[in-house]
Chains A and B, each alone.
Chain A
Amino acid sequence: MAERRQIRWHIVVFLTPAVLVYTAIMIFPLFNTLRLALYTEVGQMREFVGLQNFRTLFGDPRWSDSFWNALGNNFWFFIIHMLVQNPIGVLLAAILSHPKLRFSALYRSAIFIPTILSFVIVGFAWKLILSPIWGIAPGMLDAVGLKFLYAPWLGKEEYALTTLALVSVWQFVGIPMMLIYAALLTIPEEIIEAGECDGLTGWAAFWKIKLPLILPSIGIISILTFVGNFNAFDLIYAAQGALAGPDYSTDILGTFMYRTFFGFQLQLGDPHMGSAIATAMFAIILIGVCIYLFGIQTRMRRYQF
């Protein structure tokens, strides 16, 4: 006789609060933003216009130039993080996990501390450090005879974005370092020792044994960096304002969206165009994450110890 399956109420009960909260503060606003992108305001009335906002965003040169500029800057911002932040993070983790290093706990904390600082503090502090007028950067360079290297970096179109990306790297290098450090600690001693028996020591051991084992962590860090960078906004806003000067050279998708959505100075806010940009950002991040999940992560080899 077949037993009647009981409805397991406790699952529903336990899930409900999380689902409700998540729906109210994440899913609903997300879909509402996507919906808002399909409307525009005519006079005082909201009117459905289909994909017209996207046609304006990509078709009207005034909008599309700003969009592609912001997207390009965003990629550069991401590339700097991938090329500087993550390798340095891995390197620091490798050094920290070295058993003979003294004061490693101190270094670990010191490097991680900027991560917990507010963007506003970081942006403001670096703006002061680099300021040509009050900053200590010109004085310090002068002290070592390298004054000629100094430029008002945040005010020059060619350097401003890179400078801000490096400030962001300075702030967040602790995250990849900690994740890789944790991954390195999980590698069993036996494997390293077995490698030593086969003649792999020092750097060779790192490249041939440790690196393959931490590759999944590096993958996760890359995708976190990607999502974080394409959602970035705070640092640029704190350091350069919503106009993302000089001449929009530090404008990334976040600041472009903010300026459009909420308005700035004399420019009035347009929630519908702003939502269209937000939708485009969502799509870009979604595509990036999908490429990673289906293209890279499924092919990654995992080792069982």
Chain B
Amino acid sequence: MTYFKLTGALLATTVLGTAAFAQELTIESWRNDDLTLWQDKIIPAFEASHPGITVTFSPSAPAEYNAVLNSKLDAGSAGDLITCRPFDASLALYDAGQLASLNDLPNMANFSDVAKSAWTTDDGSATFCVPMASVIHGFIYNKDAFAEVGVEVPTTEAEFFDVLEKIKADGNYIPMAMGTNDQWEAATMGYNNIGPNYWKGEEGRLALIAGEQKLTDAPWVAPFEQLAKWKDYLGDGFEAQTYPDSQNIFTLARAAIYPAGSWEITGFNAQADFEMGAFKPPVPNAGDECYISDHTDIAMGLNAASPNAEAARTFLDWMGTEEFATIYANALPGFFSLSKFDIAMEDPLAQEFVSWRGECNSTIRSTYQILSRGTPNLENETWNASAQVIKGAESPADAAKRLEDGLASWYAPHM
């Protein structure tokens, strides 16, 4: 921490020395893992081509980001640039007049409508954040472990559990590294990872929003039934295992499979000294069409109250260029650019993940758009339900019913 403060101070003094009237921009973000990347690569690249503007990246803890950001915006002390969560959380900020419309940014044309959908109003009239990246769900596995046990990458549900069973019987590895202590992994890397294959991606997601399908319907209960079977293949005491515990267990080669999001790639590359591969969520039956969660996850918007709006717009417009997309995608393999440019990525694991876009149908996480606007918040409830189902504390049918009841209590199409 002191190190960063020191470099920050040093940077500030050098900058102040050269350009006395520099406009200073501050970025709010939950990506504290990316601090060095922003300081060493992205910001210098921007400042080199835009003298007179200096940028500071000032992240807060992911779990507290939304709350901290809201208080800062209300108090008028938030930074100029706001990292946007997808869908409802950011839409609420735009509706409250705290994010500015970015329709007039020239480089906004470099993004497809699908890419922009997570940060556009329901009527499509305004886009308020520049899309940065999406993340893809799947499973990362330890290639050495698979070779040792003698199993192949599974493609169907039956093969998946067969592999888990063999790794368990072999006894050298924990079959799967996941815990339920922090709850969100169970929903994000569990339910929303394997789910799209059952509810058929966009088709099911849109039907759920329209009220044509219920969470108690078979396609929505099936992922819970799968999760209930995971219990036997998680490590001892998984109930108290936290997210960092799971990451460490996998990168220390104590577990063979890690239910993942592609954002893990950077960290895993740095930590693990064995070869990793990735496989997509297994389909129920051989030959079924596959669906993956390719979730529009992160974007950047403009604080409507920013005193440096012009400089901030310059920065946001630069984020729509190929230069930014290339730096970002290669510095953070696993965060896949949403722009129309064809970006060459070097990381093999990232290439593996992104190749699924060509083989499968993409969808986004089912709970994010519209369904998490009310109280109870469906996404939060899904965390709890998924964790309970994995622990065996609640049956899949009961969990689904609880979610549906909660949704029906405020969402008209489900009433």
Residue A302 at the chain B interface, CB threshold 8 Å: no
Of the listed residues B92, B182, B237, B387, the one surrounded by the most CB atoms of chain A closer than 10 A to its CB is B237
- Residues of A participating in the B interface, judged by any CB pair closer than 8 Å: 44, 62, 130-134, 138, 151-157, 241-243, 245-247, 262-269
Please state if A265 and B180 are interface contacts (CB–CB under 8 Å): no
Secondary structure type dominating chain B contacts: helix
Output the nearest chain A residue to B179 by Cβ-Cβ distance: A155
- How many angstroms between the C-alpha atoms of A245 and B180 in the bound complex? 9
- How many angstroms between the C-alpha atoms of A262 and B61 in the bound complex? 14
Residue B70 at the chain A interface, CB threshold 8 Å: yes
Q: In the complex, what residues of B have CB within 8 A of residue A131's CB?
A: 237, 240, 245
Contact pick for A266, options B89, B97, B237, B241, CB 8 Å:
B89
Q: In the complex, what residues of B have CB within 8 A of residue A266's CB?
A: 66, 89, 372, 377, 379-380
Please state if B66 and A246 are interface contacts (CB–CB under 8 Å): no
Q: In the complex, what residues of A have CB within 8 A of residue B183's CB?
A: 243, 245
> 1/0 per position for B46-63, CB-CB distance to A under 8 A?
000000000000000001
Contact-residue size bin, chain B (C-beta under 8 Å from the other chain): 35 or more
- Could you tell me the distance in whole angstroms from the C-beta of A248 to the nearest C-beta in chain B? 8
Please state if A62 and B239 are interface contacts (CB–CB under 8 Å): no
Secondary structure type dominating chain A contacts: loop
Q: In the complex, what residues of B have CB within 8 A of residue A241's CB?
A: 63, 182
Output the nearest chain B residue to A131 by Cβ-Cβ distance: B240
- Could you tell me the distance in whole angstroms from the C-beta of B71 to the nearest C-beta in chain A? 7
- Could you tell me the distance in whole angstroms from the C-beta of A18 to the nearest C-beta in chain B? 30
Q: How many contacting A-B pairs (Cβ < 8 A)?
A: 91
- Could you tell me the distance in whole angstroms from the C-beta of A300 to the nearest C-beta in chain B? 44
> 1/0 per position for B155-192, CB-CB distance to A under 8 A?
00000000000000000000000011111100000000
Output the nearest chain B residue to A163 by Cβ-Cβ distance: B240
- Could you tell me the distance in whole angstroms from the C-beta of B69 to the nearest C-beta in chain A? 10
Output the nearest chain B residue to A240 by Cβ-Cβ distance: B181
- How many angstroms between the C-alpha atoms of A262 and B235 in the bound complex? 34
Residue B207 at the chain A interface, CB threshold 8 Å: no
Q: In the complex, what residues of B have CB within 8 A of residue A154's CB?
A: 181, 240
> 1/0 per position for B369-392, CB-CB distance to A under 8 A?
000100111011000100110010
Q: A133-B237, A267-B380 are in contact. Are A157 and B393 (CB under 8 A)?
A: yes
Contact pick for A263, options B70, B184, B239, B391, CB 8 Å:
B70
